[in-house]
Amino acid sequence: MNTQKTIAGILFDKDGTLLDYAKSWVPVNYELARIAANGDEALARTLLVAGGMDPDSGYVTPDSLLAAGNTVEIATGMVKAGSPFTIEALREKLDYLFANSTALAVPVTDLGAFFAGLHAKGYRLGVASSDNERSIRETAKRFGFDGYLHYVAGYDSGFGTKPEPGMVLGFCAATGLEPHQVAVVGDNNHDLHMGRNAGAGLTVAVLTGTGSPQSLSAASDHCIADITHLETVLG
Ligand SMILES: [Mg+2]
C-alpha cells in the first residue's frame, strides 16, 4: 500500500495563521473588553483576564477563550464573567467590532503572492475561521487573495464550529477532495483537532498565533514558524 500522502487542498485558519495574532488582535481584544464592560475600566480588566489575556502585557494564553473562541463563545464567557449585556446583544456588538477590525489586520506575509503561488501549483484553497464569514471575505479582498479561494467558512456559515469536522468536510464537498488529500493549517489546537476529527491527511501548526511548540505538538504532524515554510512540509 502506498502510504505517501498526496495533499491537493489546503484549509487555512485566519487569525494567528494568515494574520499575525499579536499585531492584529491584541488591540481588538482591549476594545472588545471595553465594549463588553460598557466602559467600566476595572471590569474591562477583569473580562480580559477571564478571556485569557494579561491586560498589562497583552500576552494571550494558548487555547484560551480570546485565543480560540468564536463570537458566541466569547460573548457567553464575557457575560458569565460580569458583562452587563445579554449574550445575544453582546454577540451583535462583537461581530460588528470584528468585521470593522479587518482594517487593522496585519498579515504574516504578502498573502496575495502567497495564495497566487499555491494556486499556480494547483492546490485547492480555503479558509475556515471562528470569525464570521463577512470578516473572512473582507480580509481576503483587502489582501488580494479572494480570487484564489474555493471555499470560505466562518462560525456562522452553517458548517458547525471548531473542533467539529464540519468545516473540513464542507471544504471537501466544495472541491471534490477526500479528507486525506487535505492539509489543515492553524495556530490553535481546535484547528488541528478539527483536522484530525475530519480525517485530514496532514495537520500543520504555525507559531504566528497564541500557541507554542509545546501546546501544539500533540495534535500536529508538523510545527513551522509561519506559513511561508508550508511548502517544505507538503511533500
Ligand atoms: Mg487562529
Q: What is the pLDDT along the chain (235 residues), one digit of tens a residue?
A: 444 569 999 999 999 999 999 999 999 999 999 999 999 999 999 999 999 999 999 999 998 999 989 999 999 999 999 999 999 999 999 999 988 888 889 999 999 999 999 999 999 999 999 999 998 999 999 999 999 999 999 999 999 999 999 999 999 999 999 999 999 999 999 999 999 999 999 999 999 999 999 999 999 999 999 999 999 999 7
Tell how far the Cα of 1 is from the centroid of ligand 1, in angstroms. 35
Interatomic CA distance for residues 211 and 16, integer angstroms: 9
**173 CA distance to ligand 1 centroid (A)?**
23
Centre of ligand 1 to C-alpha 7, Å, is 21
Cα(210) to ligand 1 centroid in Å equals 8
Rounded to the nearest whole angstrom, what is the distance from the C-alpha of residue 19 to the centroid of ligand 1? 9
The helix or strand, by DSSP H or E, that contains position 19, with its residue range, turns out to be: none
Q: From the CA of 37, how far away is ligand 1's center (Å)?
A: 24
CA of 188 to the centre of ligand 1 (A): 6
114 Cα: distance to centroid of ligand 1 (angstroms) = 18
In angstroms, what is the span from residue 186 Cα to ligand 1's centroid? 6
**Sign of the dihedral through C-alpha 15, 21, 24, 29:** positive
Distance 17 CA to ligand 1 centre (A): 6
How much is the pLDDT for 76? 98
* Residue 73 CA to ligand 1 centre (angstroms): 14
Contact 151, 169 (CB under 8 A): no
Instruction: Give the length of the chain.
Output: 235
| Cα 105 to ligand 1 centroid, rounded to whole Å | 13
Whole-number Å distance, alpha carbon 91 to ligand 1 midpoint, is: 19
Domain residue limits, the chain: 4-20+107-234, 23-103
Distance from the alpha carbon of residue 183 to the mean position of ligand 1, in angstroms = 15
Q: In the CATH scheme, what is the code of domain 4-20+107-234?
A: 3.40.50.1000
Report d(CA 177, CA 60) in Å as an integer: 35
Q: How far is the CA of 2 from the centre of ligand 1 (A)?
A: 33
pLDDT of residue 101: 86
What's residue 183's pLDDT? Answer: 98
Q: What is the distance between the alpha carbons of residues 183 and 214, in angstroms, rounded to a whole number?
A: 21
Residue 84 contacts residue 117 (beta carbons within 8 Å): no
Nearest to 33 by CA among 41, 22, 23: 41
Q: How far is the CA of 209 from the centre of ligand 1 (A)?
A: 6
pLDDT of residue 3: 43
**DSSP symbol at 227:** G
Please tell me the distance from the alpha carbon of residue 123 to that of residue 111, in angstroms, as a whole number: 15
